[in-house]
Chains A and B, each alone.
Chain A
Amino acid sequence: MSWHVQSELLERYARGDADGAQAFSVEAHLPSCPQCRGQIAALVDGAVLQGAWEGIEERLDAPRRGPVETALMRAGVSEHVARLLGATPALRLSWLLACALVLAFAAWAASRHDGGVYWFLVLAPLLPLAGVAVAYGPDVDPTYEVGLAAPMRSFGLLLIRALAVLVTTTAMAAIAALALDGLHWSAAAWLAPSLGLTLASLALATRMSALAACASLGALWMLAAGVGWHLAREPLVLFGAAGQVTCALVAAIAAFVLARNADSIERRGGMA
């Protein structure tokens, strides 16, 4: 190297006062000149340099945000909660797409056949239930064991994931309901059963795995829908006033059980 950057220019560069062309020239020169690098090293504030390195590392290492995580952050969810939710199987795009397809098919069937709305109403509450089943637990979360030993409460994690699943699938079902022929009250009759079943699954999850709880309740719901139709000779009997009140009651009782047994999911998972 036959030339070196003048000390005065190095000082200005280190202060951040060099103009664009000068800064470019210094930066092109430094990688090939140990002497100038040594000279400028003494001029740079260590804290500033450390901050710059951290900034670079932060950009290189920063976790990639998936579409769900990005959407959650745009909706105001904090970064760490969005990451926890982004790892939820029931909030992956593939799962949401499957839900959308099921709902679209149910809405299409409902508009093509007499009594088709029955199938839509039976199906819609099962989607959040299926989502909760694969939201958290030893069978669906590979980090379950590590998570159990972490200070974040298992119940809290299950609750925020279940809430996110419920909100997402409810929004999707609501959009699908708008596609049904004519806006009749029955188009919203799945809401109370959906809430009741989801809360009941969480309450049951204090006694058994979320997967088993959701599977049992799903089977029970299908059975009740079939038996109700058969006995009353009216497919929508389960969705009438009495059915809605029952579902609301189930939701209230389940919420009460949940509040009282907040620690039991964790205890059942390990410290029983």
Chain B
Amino acid sequence: MSDTTIRMAQLRKRYGTTDVVAGLSLGIGPGVTGLLGPNGAGKTTLMRMLATVLAPTDGDLALLGRDPADPDERTDVRRRLGYMPQEPGFHRQFTAFEFVDYVAILKEMTDTRARHREVRRVLETVGLGDVTGRRIRKLSGGMRKRVALAQALLGDPQLLVLDEPTAALDPEQRMRFRELASELGGERIVLVSTHQTEDVAALCQRVIVLRDGRAAFDGTPAELSGLARGRVWIADGRDERAQLWWRTAEGRHRHVGEPPPGAQLVEPTIEDGYLLLAGPAVVPEGLAA
């Protein structure tokens, strides 16, 4: 039986003197795993290493039981990999169909008829069956994201690495993505890097929070929100003792931190847990106490 896990031990990526990924040791199995973290936390660097497009500086990495440092094993991993980069590039003169078809050729699908059938399948899966012939430069940002997702689904890969797949999607498209990712996550490894805590809450069985290249948290979404239990309160005015605070739509102030006596505690969300963990690094200047 083939290995369906990702294993990393003391994985490190250094640029100059900075460790962008600083000795991560994790095992990831089938299901949807979310990667959260502020900008610069090392999410994209980690995703690129897991997609075999960036080599670690140090440490061990095994993808689906293969060593990506070995050329033949790396090719074997890539045959079972779907990768959606954070900023996918397109030949803009291509139509959606032509672009996905082009990537399918890079994925060694050389039989024209079977390849076109597969291209149609993935475009329909992401809800673009009606615009297959439209040029990419005429598609909206959300549609382009879905084209990028479609190419990642080619060949029904066992390992899906999706870097910020929900950015630029409208709420309805995000719902469809969550449904799709949830379906895919049954027997496959689906790694989703995102800034959207609600995406993680809705579709991930596991969440890893990265900070400064290290795993600051590894657990379920419920455990992440549980970190903030008893540490989130609402008040009419700003409380200087809070670790973080922000003004809500109702004009009151939501605080995260050690509550003062008598504070009006509220049920924490996954965002509260994440903010408490990530701290001021994820909050715009001025909001952090």
Contacts and interface: CB of A to CB of B under 8 A. Distances in A.
A6 interface: no
Contacts of B151: 146
A150 B113 contact: no
Interface stretch (A56-64, A166-174, A247-255): A56-64
Contacts of A76: none
Interface stretch (A80-88, A111-119, A188-196, A219-227): A80-88
B53 A143 contact: no
Query: Which of A79, A143, A272 has most chain B Cβ within 10 Å?
Result: A143
Interface string A85-106: 0010000000000000000000
B91 A152 contact: no
Given A142-B89, A271-B68, A151 B75 contact: yes
Interface string A244-272: 00000000000000000001001101111
B55 A146 contact: no
A159 to B, nearest CB: 14
Chain B: interface size category: 35 or more
A207 interface: no
B71 A87 contact: no
B102 interface: yes
A53 B59 CA distance: 51
B66 interface: no
Contacts of B105: 80, 83-84, 152
Given A150-B106, A271-B68, A63 B101 contact: yes
Nearest 4 CB-CB pairs, A to B?
A142-B89, A150-B106, A149-B83, A270-B53
Interface of B: 48, 51-55, 68-69, 71, 74-75, 78-79, 81, 83, 85, 88-92, 94-95, 97-99, 101-103, 105-110, 112-113, 115-117, 119-120, 132-133, 148, 151, 161
Interface of A: 54, 57-58, 60-64, 78-80, 83-84, 87, 141-153, 157, 263, 266-267, 269-272
